[in-house]
Amino acid sequence: MKLRKHMIGVCLTGAMVLAGAASMQAFAAETEAVTEAVGGDITVELPTKENGVVSAETWKEQFPEIYESWKANEENSEVIDHVEEYPQIATLYEGMGFAHSYNSARGHSYTLEDVAATGRPHPLANCLTCKTPDYTALVNELGDEAYAMDFEEVYAQMDETVSCYNCHANNAGNGGELVVTHSYLDNAMGADKEKVDPATLSCGQCHNEYYFNPETKATTLPYTSLDTMNPDDILAFYNETGFTDYTNPQTGTQQIKVQHPEFETFMGAGSQHAGTFSCADCHMGKATSAEGVEYVNHKWTSPLNNEELIASTCSACHDDLKSQVAAIQEEEETRVNAIADQLVELTTKLAEAVASGEYTEDELNAIRSKNRDAQFYWDFVFVENSEGAHNSKLTKECLDKAESICAEAMALFK
pLDDT, one tens digit per residue, over 9-55 is: 333 332 223 322 333 333 333 333 333 333 334 445 678 899 999 99
Q: Which range, 22-26, 47-51, 172-176, 362-366, is most confident?
A: 362-366
**Rounded mean pLDDT of 71-96?**
95
| Mean pLDDT for the chain overall | 88
CA distances from 293 to 138, 171, 200, 218, 305 (A): 35, 20, 25, 42, 21
In the predicted model, is pLDDT for residue 361 greater than 80? yes
How confident is the model over 243-286, as pLDDT tens digits? 999 999 999 999 999 999 999 999 999 999 998 999 999 999 88
Give the pLDDT of residue 119.
87
Give the pLDDT of residue 106.
87
What is the phi/psi pair of residue 226, to 5°? Answer: -65, -35
14 conformational bin, left if phi > 0, alpha if psi -120 to 50, beta if neither? left
**Rounded mean pLDDT of 371-386?**
98
In the predicted model, is pLDDT for residue 331 greater than 60? yes
200 Cβ neighbours under 8 A, 6+ residues apart:
263, 266, 267, 274, 278, 279, 280
Give the pLDDT of residue 177.
87
CA angle 60, 61, 64 (to 5 degrees): 65
Please indicate whether residue 140 or residue 104 has the higher confidence score (pLDDT): 140
**Rounded mean pLDDT of 315-324?**
96
Angle, helix 231-241 to helix 392-410, in steps of 10 degrees: 40
Per DSSP, the three-state class of 62 is coil
User: pLDDT over 70 for what percent of the chain?
Assistant: 88
Please indicate whether residue 118 or residue 33 has the higher confidence score (pLDDT): 118
In the predicted model, is pLDDT for residue 391 greater than 80? yes
Of 105-119, 141-155, 164-178, 380-394, give the lowest mean pLDDT range: 164-178
Give the pLDDT of residue 176.
78
**Rounded mean pLDDT of 120-139?**
94
Of 176-185, 202-211, 244-253, 263-272, give the lowest mean pLDDT range: 176-185
Interatomic CA distance for residues 316 and 299, integer angstroms: 24
DSSP H helical ranges for 321-360: 321-356
The percent helix, strand, coil of the chain (3-state, each to 5) is 50, 10, 40
Query: Which residue(s) pair with 81 in the sheet?
Result: 103
At residue 173 the predicted structure's pLDDT band, cuts being 50, 70 and 90, is low
Give the pLDDT of residue 36.
37
CA distances from 316 to 277, 282, 283, 309 (A): 13, 14, 18, 11
In the predicted model, is pLDDT for residue 2 greater than 80? no
Interatomic CA distance for residues 108 and 359, integer angstroms: 48
Asked if residues 61 and 172 have their Cβ atoms less than 8 Å apart, the reply is no
Please indicate whether residue 19 or residue 62 has the higher confidence score (pLDDT): 62
At residue 98 the predicted structure's pLDDT band, cuts being 50, 70 and 90, is very high
Q: Is the pTM of this model over 0.85?
A: yes
**Rounded mean pLDDT of 60-86?**
94
Interatomic CA distance for residues 62 and 257, integer angstroms: 42
Per DSSP, the three-state class of 18 is coil
User: pLDDT over 90 for what percent of the chain?
Assistant: 79
Give the pLDDT of residue 122.
85
For residue 250, the tally of other CB atoms under 10 A from its CB is 16
Give the pLDDT of residue 121.
87
